[in-house]
Structure 1
Amino acid sequence: MSSHEDDALAQAAVTALTGQLALAPKPGLPDPRDLGACVTRRDHCMLRWSAKSLAPGLAAMAAAARRTGEPTPGLRTELGAIGRCTEHSVGLAGGGHRGALWALGLLVAAAALDPRAGARDVAATAKRIAAHTDKRAPRRPSRGSSVSAKYGAAGARGEARAGFPHVRRALDALINSRLAGATEEQARLDALLTVMSTLQDTELLYTAGPLGLRQVQAGARGVLEAGGTATKEGAQALSSLDTELHTRAWSPRGSAGLLAGALFLDSIPVMIHAA
């Protein structure tokens, strides 16, 4: 693998993230409709711009994995250092995407370790990387880790150490919706709702508490049980859920980052074929 392949992996991850941002309607999450609203226009524009600023850091993570060759503790520490520098760069570009950077960084590094691996093997390798402790990480607790400790939620770290089960579920939902005749946007929204239906999203726990989280999960399941976003009933349920979450200012941001991870894994077979 060369720097060209490192850049290709990073660009695939950024494309997955911007693809997630382009979906609409996303319940409680920024989407292109925000461009028509003066209050939130800047937020969504900045998210799209700052997503592109992840590329150098993600390419550096891929290069680090390629040099190391194994999912070692040393690689985990190096990825953490690169990630913190990338967070700073993203902050200068407008901020956001912290959860997506964590997921995509591990998945990009795992893909770089074995360029011919399939999506599920990449997730398994990412699990092996995440199992190690970043000994140089700041000791101060983050909001996510504090919420995880308070409510017993797995959080971003637990999701990675379990091999990204929600990313894999989203990937299955994406494939199944396509096979059922959904459009690409509908299939991606179904994948997002699949994550929302079961994820213990620490952002939701922080803003809405356990009852609010369960309400959001039930709403997402309601859309899927109505047949998904490709059906009239599912689309109506999605619209109702979208209105409710925006009204309450509840944002399932953890689900959005994991959807980006699924879209990245979805691109891997194409990258392998093109290599």
Structure 2
Amino acid sequence: MHAFNLQAKPLSLADRLADLAVDALIDEADLSPKPALVDRRGSGAHTDLHLGLMHASALSLWPAFKEMAEAAIEIGEIGSPLREAIGLIGREGEQVMLATTHGVNTHRGAIWALGLLVAAAALEPESTAAGSIALRAARLALLDDRHAPRPLSHGAQVAQRYGARGAREEAQLGFPAVTQRALPQLKRSRAAGHGEQNARLDALLAIMTRLADTCVLYRAGEHGLHTMQRGAQAVLDAGGSASLGGRRRLHELDQQLIALNASPGGAADLLAACLFIDRIESRDGINQGAF
């Protein structure tokens, strides 16, 4: 066969969903300037993270996301078998991530959020509305995984201490920080002509205004959380990331959170979830490979 007649094999639905999940993680990492988070400028409030490590971590999770989508397609319905299958795949993916990062937790929260959303999207690829995907993910998150280890993560411990809603509860409620705040803000900023990068920054800030980010609570307590929430709202009130006043407030927030060692990792994970859902919602017909 002549080389010019060779055609690439079409990607499966699971391949495409895994691609979108990894793309969302890389786009979140690259987005700049994010307050106190790893981005193209530097490591923010972190001493053990950098942009290259975030990219490597995201890429290492591609097989896990594909396997989660394949499990959803094979099992075909929401129930304990699927919940336990994606839980096992997620734990195995976490070990691959930690081996890649030499033990640094880069994306544990994102594995949980995006894993649920990948499975939810794979279950009904013709149902691409954000609310529908989030609802299916919530139904999965509400199910118990009998095989999950019971030690509490730092986020879960902080959630209990402060009465905050952790990553698990956020998913069980259908990702309200994404569907009610991030996605609407993303679309408003786009419609206002603010540009894609500024729209994504505004979406992150919209999450930060209300989220009880357990990463911030763990690192800086309630003072750090209030600083994050008030500062993010001040940026939006000043006109958002596309305005001069908003950029000044964003710089101030960045400096304040770095001084407090408060990095909003929970908000970053939810921004990745927002970008993932946005891509699916804006592309009709994912079952036919439209994206």
TM-score exceeds 0.5: yes
Cα pair 2:119 2:137 within 8 Å, conserved:
yes
Q: How far is the alpha carbon of 1:208 from its aligned partner?
A: 1.0
Which of 249, 258, 270 is the equivalent residue of 1:258?
270
Quick one: distance in 2 between partners of 1:45 and 1:166?
27
* Structure 1, 8-17 or 203-212: larger mean CA deviation: 203-212
Q: How far is the alpha carbon of 1:105 from its aligned partner?
A: 0.3
> Per the alignment, in what secondary structure is the counterpart of residue 139 of structure 1?
coil
Indicate the residue corresponding to 1:119 in structure 2.
130
Give the ranges of 4+ consecutive aligned residues of structure 1 lying more than 4 Å apart after TM superposition: 39-42
Cα pair 2:224 2:257 within 8 Å, conserved:
no
1:99 pairs with 2:99? no
Paired residues for 1:83-98 under 5 Å? 83-94=90-101, 95=104, 96-98=106-108
Q: How far is the alpha carbon of 1:13 from its aligned partner?
A: 0.7
Which sections of structure 1, spanning at least 5 residues, go unmatched? Answer: none
Quick one: distance in 2 between partners of 1:203 and 1:33?
21
- CA-to-aligned-CA distance 1:55-78 (integer Å, 9 cap, x gap): 100000001111111111111111
- CA-to-aligned-CA distance 1:202-248 (integer Å, 9 cap, x gap): 11111111122111100000001111111111111001111221222
Q: How far is the alpha carbon of 1:3 from its aligned partner?
A: 7.0
Q: How far is the alpha carbon of 1:270 from its aligned partner?
A: 4.4
* Structure 1, 190-199 or 204-213: larger mean CA deviation: 204-213
- CA-to-aligned-CA distance 1:7-42 (integer Å, 9 cap, x gap): 10011011011001111110010001128x9x9696
- CA-to-aligned-CA distance 1:133-186 (integer Å, 9 cap, x gap): 111110212111111111111100000000000111211111110001111000
Matched residue type, 1:62? A
Which of 183, 186, 193 is the equivalent residue of 1:171?
183
Paired residues for 1:114-153 under 5 Å? 114-117=124-127, 118-153=129-164
Cα pair 2:190 2:196 within 8 Å, conserved:
yes
Cα pair 1:13 1:108 within 8 Å, conserved:
yes
* Structure 1, 139-148 or 52-61: larger mean CA deviation: 139-148
Q: Against the structure 1 CA distance between its residues 257 and 43, is the aligned structure 2 distance closer, same or farther, given a 3 Å change threshold?
A: same
Which of 206, 215, 218 is the equivalent residue of 1:206?
218
- CA-to-aligned-CA distance 1:94-151 (integer Å, 9 cap, x gap): 1411111111000000000000112221011101111101111102121111111111
Indicate the residue corresponding to 1:53 in structure 2.
60
* Structure 1, 41-50 or 243-252: larger mean CA deviation: 41-50
Q: Percent identity, please.
A: 46
Quick one: distance in 2 between partners of 1:226 and 1:97?
31
TM-score under structure 1 length normalisation? 0.95
Indicate the residue corresponding to 2:41 in structure 1.
33
Alignment RMSD (CA, Å): 1.8
Quick one: distance in 2 between partners of 1:112 and 1:182?
32
Quick one: distance in 1 between partners of 2:245 and 2:210?
21
Q: Against the structure 1 CA distance between its residues 263 and 136, is the aligned structure 2 distance closer, same or farther, given a 3 Å change threshold?
A: same
Which sections of structure 2, spanning at least 5 residues, go unmatched? Answer: 1-9
Indicate the residue corresponding to 1:195 in structure 2.
207
TM-score under structure 2 length normalisation? 0.90
Q: Which structure has the highest helix share of the two? A: 1
What is the number of equivalent residue pairs in this alignment? 272
Indicate the residue corresponding to 2:31 in structure 1.
23
Q: Against the structure 1 CA distance between its residues 11 and 250, is the aligned structure 2 distance closer, same or farther, given a 3 Å change threshold?
A: same
